[in-house]
Structure 1
């Protein structure tokens, strides 16, 4: 069992919405290769079905990888430098102080045994090859399955070409897709097998081409499709002189599908190709509505593209979104370039994202905060694309300055301080010194840099911001710079944090910037308690912070104020109040997925348990928190140095190294859902139909020995019974508790041993 098995990664591919046809032999080949090779690349032209084959194989082999499967769609990034960022994001990792995204991923994967699926690598082939080579070298238990039109040419790579479908499967695919569109159109009684065989042969057995052709069944018979396709292919075979025949066929098929669209649908197809990943109707209207296409007609045109299989409909919790297959998106971008419209559409796309993040920023401290966290997560690939275009176009980098700081809490909550800092650095390098947004961007960049632990760079950025603020009499920027300095002083446990935070709060209050005052209030409340033991002043600051967050659903700062209260009370006040505050803060963070907050609150609950004398629970919670700290790339010794060190040492001294380490390891090994329930003090939820039964005295005794790390043979020797008897008892324990492995037994013992 690997170290990560209890925090099993699960980022499966999308659910299969249509039947899976053929590929039985190819699937068996891939599974066989994955059993002996560490890098398997599915190669072939666009539209041949590489991704769909990878999806199916992942479903078949997922159980063979103790730490799960991570499925990374690389089509959403165009910059090879961001490939490692995207992998880190899919792994749920956050920026680690001083480490590049690649190093962070390698450190995380080094002792794990999982399947890493990299989909659509061809446009980032050099960056992907470098990344994969590093993973294979540094992470001996990782297996990589990739799809790419080009191989990596990396040592140890096994390339498996994905061929077109054989005729029988191609005909079956056409029949099934055509029947879904028009049930009577392609049944065996009305359509000859010869016609469909010739049609699929003309399409070279490419699944994408077949599905595009089948989508026309409502307006054309198979014979008419064949006649039209034959003539179009004759006209368009010179489109790609150096490409393989099947590639020419795919282009001809897409050309033909494009020709069947109305002129307005063609225009919308091209304009929508600017989106990376998915988009919603409102975004499409903002980008597509010009030159004869009104906002009111965009929905109808999108419905037409959905009907023609150009777009895919995605149902999300916040509404319906749309997505374009990558090959169709590339085709649309070619048409956009041919029309000379790329710059205009890219600017409209950027302006849409700029308005989106501005609205999110305006509504952040409100009941709309959970919506914006989810919404910006869905559009993060589009945000990256908009930032990339802005920093690469002359005179557009100022927009990137504004976008990358709004809302700053989103970047922190997602653990993307490093990425935000990179965008800000690029934008700052491309904007003139006199740009009005420069000082604010410098302060934001300094804050992100501070989270990464680079004090020297942080100080340099703050000094630049202060110089600009003084030169321009810019009071808000001066206050922001002071905010960063107060936070840096707090993290370094310097006494000036109290006075700096108080001055920052006063400055923002005078400016009427309520939201900007929230974090400085937290800094002041905690700092004044630890420096001066002034509980009244600490409570006043944290109470004001809580009141300013409002009562309409804001979670980010509300949880932070509760955490501040827990920090103060567990150290100098009422431990029961601290327990209640930390628990409620954890619930709020879980609601919005604030991984950084979850780590802090779990650690705080460990402090509470130690203060209450429940040292085994404290050690277990420290173990649970350790997994969270590792995932977000922060060390608790940096993020919460004083209370963490104090209570860790106290709990260890109270129960001894052996018991502490055993409970700590059990916490680290606890499955994520069970760990959450344990931290909240709630009973573990069992799967439907599974109930936890009471263990016998002998089973309890054996469970405790399992928790100590003894093997069944060791336990048999210790208890002077046969190993077969121990095997039977362990099986009964697993069945009664509804567990699947010994590590879960250890975690259960840690939680019930009290």
Structure 2
């Protein structure tokens, strides 16, 4: 479940939230509309937090402000849903396949700038995924058939002709918001007989607009409520005098933002303008690199950021040990306008791209080493900024060459998280926009071919390899030749061509001769698996994979280490010791879990199913086959394609040993597991059993069955959390999902059902 972390408390909107929750039904689209700053996102966040547990398939919240190109909307949804595209199919198809059988809530926030793409995406989901509910926020409706549009109004303020007593003022949400935000700035601030009239006046002047109230409340650090009300009454009429064609509340909000800007220091104004080029979130070092420039030194940026945080222009978001910042979209839009008015957009966007260039270069250099995990976290946080930098480079005249350089880096990162198709698209666009003699073109073509191979477009890979050969005129540099040979080895392996081993051995030797340890690793894997499994040279295959493992361990590398362990387990289960294979596969899975699982988890769960079959643990094997099936679907692939031979053989053996009914029951239990539950089951040597006899196939996942048993024992959710070493919130969610799946309303019904099934 991917839900936003809200930094401040939510005030009011109880009636609206209840109305939205009531409108959200399976196959239903609800769109919250209203002007910028009216509180659509906060209402959507609150509703999602309240309604998520009612959807057995979970909820996913996607902030579309990260996108500059609407064509990547489905890719962003896939990423937020934990999907890793390892096929050539469009991301939309991957998402639809994932959601088709799920009762899930999908929240699309800030659709207005990609409204056409959002409408097409939503229509496809509603057509093919009948159990999915969609909540959107946009300044305009999506125009999709069956859409229910709910207009989000400003917060309630006391009417002009009313003078409610002090005790009743808190009933008005605008007043509550102002008082709460003021008390966060000034502990002890409260609504009193002395300031009540000023507070009401402020709320009325700002038309109850939440963003305007938050910006104004930040000024109560230095002004009294009466001073603030007086300044607003003098300032806002001047600012709202133009343009007269805009709706009155929109002019009020714009005027409040401009007033807030006018009260910033020159350095704060510069950082406000320049920070608007960031997509998603950013940290202080990034701000120092991008926002510093004419009239602003890097060491001045921190003070400016502090000032903008105080004024609610920037919002603080904690991400582990590093604090990150973001702008609300309405404030970012005004920053863009101010940046253009100052004539700074090209220079600042260029610095943003150059920052991404340096960041990806540093990550690429350190990739195959002990800092890999840190870089993975960092790159995932900067994915939106990476996309923004690539898009700017492709649309700014003369800058497309930077995309050849940037997108050719970190091929393992793009691949591991299922972005190979996207990376190939960036490279193809850059190749089309740069001259044929650009020096980075041959290398970019090689990596474009590599990503084509990873999404199983083997003909496309061959075409790009051929173009790279033509550019080299038959005499490429040795490392470029090794790179092309490596890609050919991968293509050959995917075609099940026996030439894969020889090509991989040639590439590995060339990289080794030049000290390119990172580039040697994957060719070693191709050679080890191809020679050991396909050619029957098991000892030779083991030697190659052990060398790969030793190189990874010496460098503190994690991703390729997991691959080497999987490769050895792959050989051992078929040609060696099943116990050794199991130890290797579990070690590989543990390493993958460190870096965020990824597409390799499907291979490992399937591999562990083969091992369980070979050991005679057939119920466990069937459960693992079921768990793997969900993950194969999540990466857009199938074991019949990726690991055809051993998968078919061991699945048939497991089915024969169990019989159809027992196999189906165990397979369904595995398929119903979440990725986290499947990994725990696979890593638990004692988890070899099958669901209790009589349990309805697919009714509960393995973990839910366990929780149901603890409910039957009389344990509270807190006791269940302590026993299973999970959070109480997770235990609450498990119990609620069990109630939903079984159609019950009370815990006693779970206990009775479990006792009967057992």
Say if 2:62 is the partner of 1:55.
Answer: no
Look up the match of 1:732: 712
Specify which of 168, 180, 188 is matched with residue 192 of structure 2.
188
Specify which of 75, 82, 86 is matched with residue 72 of structure 2.
82
Equivalent residues of 1:164, 1:207 under 8 A apart: yes
3-state SS in 2 of match to 1:704: coil
Deviations 1:572-622 (A, max 9, x none): 122222111111000000010131121111111112112222222112111
Specify which of 617, 637, 644 is matched with residue 640 of structure 2.
637
Alignment gaps of 5+ in structure 1 = 1-9, 685-699, 712-727
Using the TM superposition, give the Cα deviation of residue 45 of structure 1 relative to its aligned residue in structure 2, in angstroms.
Answer: 0.8
Look up the match of 2:726: none
Specify which of 224, 227, 237 is matched with residue 234 of structure 1.
237
Q: Compared with structure 1, are the counterparts of its residues 537 and 338 closer, same or farther at alpha carbon in structure 2 (3 Å cutoff)?
A: same
Q: Distance in 1 between matches of 2:112 and 2:449?
A: 36
Look up the match of 1:526: 529
Equivalent residues of 2:528, 2:544 under 8 A apart: yes
Equivalent residues of 2:631, 2:675 under 8 A apart: no
Say if 2:596 is the partner of 1:593.
Answer: yes
3-state SS in 2 of match to 1:473: coil
Q: Distance in 1 between matches of 2:106 and 2:691?
A: 37
Q: Distance in 1 between matches of 2:558 and 2:193?
A: 61
Q: Distance in 2 between matches of 1:475 and 1:394?
A: 33
Equivalent residues of 1:470, 1:478 under 8 A apart: no
Q: Compared with structure 1, are the counterparts of its residues 734 and 666 closer, same or farther at alpha carbon in structure 2 (3 Å cutoff)?
A: farther
Look up the match of 2:370: 367
Q: Distance in 1 between matches of 2:676 and 2:174?
A: 44
Q: Distance in 2 between matches of 1:635 and 1:243?
A: 54
Say if 2:708 is the partner of 1:704.
Answer: no
3-state SS in 2 of match to 1:40: strand
Q: Distance in 1 between matches of 2:431 and 2:709?
A: 65
Q: Distance in 1 between matches of 2:463 and 2:677?
A: 44
Look up the match of 2:127: 137
CA RMSD, aligned part only? 2.6
> Within 5 Å, which residues of 2 pair with 1:487-506?
487-506=490-509
Equivalent residues of 1:703, 1:733 under 8 A apart: no
Of 606-615 and 296-305, the range deviating more from structure 2: 606-615
Of 81-90 and 356-365, the range deviating more from structure 2: 81-90
Look up the match of 1:24: 14
Look up the match of 2:177: 173
> Within 5 Å, which residues of 2 pair with 1:597-608?
597-608=600-611
Look up the match of 2:512: 509
Q: Compared with structure 1, are the counterparts of its residues 674 and 333 closer, same or farther at alpha carbon in structure 2 (3 Å cutoff)?
A: same
Look up the match of 1:725: none
Q: Distance in 2 between matches of 1:731 and 1:478?
A: 63
Using the TM superposition, give the Cα deviation of residue 184 of structure 1 relative to its aligned residue in structure 2, in angstroms.
Answer: 5.1
Equivalent residues of 1:589, 1:595 under 8 A apart: yes
Using the TM superposition, give the Cα deviation of residue 546 of structure 1 relative to its aligned residue in structure 2, in angstroms.
Answer: 1.2
Equivalent residues of 1:318, 1:371 under 8 A apart: no
3-state SS in 1 of match to 2:108: strand
Specify which of 268, 271, 276 is matched with residue 271 of structure 2.
268
Of 516-525 and 493-502, the range deviating more from structure 2: 493-502
Q: Distance in 1 between matches of 2:613 and 2:440?
A: 47
Say if 2:92 is the partner of 1:102.
Answer: yes
Q: Compared with structure 1, are the counterparts of its residues 733 and 96 closer, same or farther at alpha carbon in structure 2 (3 Å cutoff)?
A: farther
Q: Distance in 2 between matches of 1:265 and 1:488?
A: 53
Equivalent residues of 1:595, 1:628 under 8 A apart: no
Look up the match of 1:722: none
Look up the match of 1:300: 303
> Within 5 Å, which residues of 2 pair with 1:333-348?
333-348=336-351
Say if 2:549 is the partner of 1:542.
Answer: no
Of 331-340 and 639-648, the range deviating more from structure 2: 639-648
Say if 2:254 is the partner of 1:251.
Answer: yes
Q: Distance in 1 between matches of 2:589 and 2:632?
A: 15
Q: Distance in 1 between matches of 2:76 and 2:578?
A: 41
Q: Distance in 2 between matches of 1:315 and 1:176?
A: 22
Q: Distance in 1 between matches of 2:616 and 2:88?
A: 37
Deviations 1:648-696 (A, max 9, x none): 2222233333332322222111243332121012568xxxxxxxxxxxx
Equivalent residues of 2:572, 2:580 under 8 A apart: yes
3-state SS in 2 of match to 1:12: coil
3-state SS in 2 of match to 1:429: helix
Equivalent residues of 2:669, 2:697 under 8 A apart: no
Say if 2:5 is the partner of 1:14.
Answer: yes
Using the TM superposition, give the Cα deviation of residue 138 of structure 1 relative to its aligned residue in structure 2, in angstroms.
Answer: 1.6
Specify which of 43, 46, 71 is matched with residue 61 of structure 2.
71
> Within 5 Å, which residues of 2 pair with 1:472-483?
473-483=476-486
Specify which of 418, 422, 430 is matched with residue 427 of structure 1.
430
Using the TM superposition, give the Cα deviation of residue 50 of structure 1 relative to its aligned residue in structure 2, in angstroms.
Answer: 0.9
3-state SS in 1 of match to 2:219: coil
Q: Distance in 2 between matches of 1:441 and 1:354?
A: 15
Equivalent residues of 1:466, 1:477 under 8 A apart: no
Q: Distance in 2 between matches of 1:587 and 1:279?
A: 30
Look up the match of 1:442: 445
Specify which of 624, 628, 631 is matched with residue 627 of structure 2.
624
Q: Distance in 1 between matches of 2:173 and 2:27?
A: 29
Q: Compared with structure 1, are the counterparts of its residues 427 and 710 closer, same or farther at alpha carbon in structure 2 (3 Å cutoff)?
A: closer
The TM-score, its normalising length taken from structure 1, stands at 0.90
Alignment gaps of 5+ in structure 2 = 158-171, 701-707, 721-730, 743-749
Using the TM superposition, give the Cα deviation of residue 525 of structure 1 relative to its aligned residue in structure 2, in angstroms.
Answer: 0.6
Q: Distance in 1 between matches of 2:272 and 2:221?
A: 21
Equivalent residues of 1:469, 1:477 under 8 A apart: no
Using the TM superposition, give the Cα deviation of residue 268 of structure 1 relative to its aligned residue in structure 2, in angstroms.
Answer: 0.8
Equivalent residues of 2:442, 2:468 under 8 A apart: yes
Using the TM superposition, give the Cα deviation of residue 63 of structure 1 relative to its aligned residue in structure 2, in angstroms.
Answer: 2.2
Q: Compared with structure 1, are the counterparts of its residues 485 and 734 closer, same or farther at alpha carbon in structure 2 (3 Å cutoff)?
A: farther
Equivalent residues of 1:209, 1:250 under 8 A apart: yes
Q: Compared with structure 1, are the counterparts of its residues 392 and 710 closer, same or farther at alpha carbon in structure 2 (3 Å cutoff)?
A: closer
Look up the match of 1:4: none
Specify which of 663, 672, 676 is matched with residue 660 of structure 1.
663
Using the TM superposition, give the Cα deviation of residue 18 of structure 1 relative to its aligned residue in structure 2, in angstroms.
Answer: 2.7
Q: Distance in 2 between matches of 1:427 and 1:454?
A: 19
Of 310-319 and 701-710, the range deviating more from structure 2: 701-710
Equivalent residues of 2:111, 2:138 under 8 A apart: yes
Look up the match of 1:693: none
Q: Distance in 1 between matches of 2:484 and 2:241?
A: 61
Specify which of 403, 406, 410 is matched with residue 403 of structure 1.
406
Q: Distance in 2 between matches of 1:515 and 1:314?
A: 35
Q: Distance in 2 between matches of 1:517 and 1:334?
A: 49
Deviations 1:354-397 (A, max 9, x none): 11011001001111000000000000000000010111122211
Using the TM superposition, give the Cα deviation of residue 460 of structure 1 relative to its aligned residue in structure 2, in angstroms.
Answer: 0.5
Q: Compared with structure 1, are the counterparts of its residues 658 and 469 closer, same or farther at alpha carbon in structure 2 (3 Å cutoff)?
A: farther
3-state SS in 2 of match to 1:642: helix
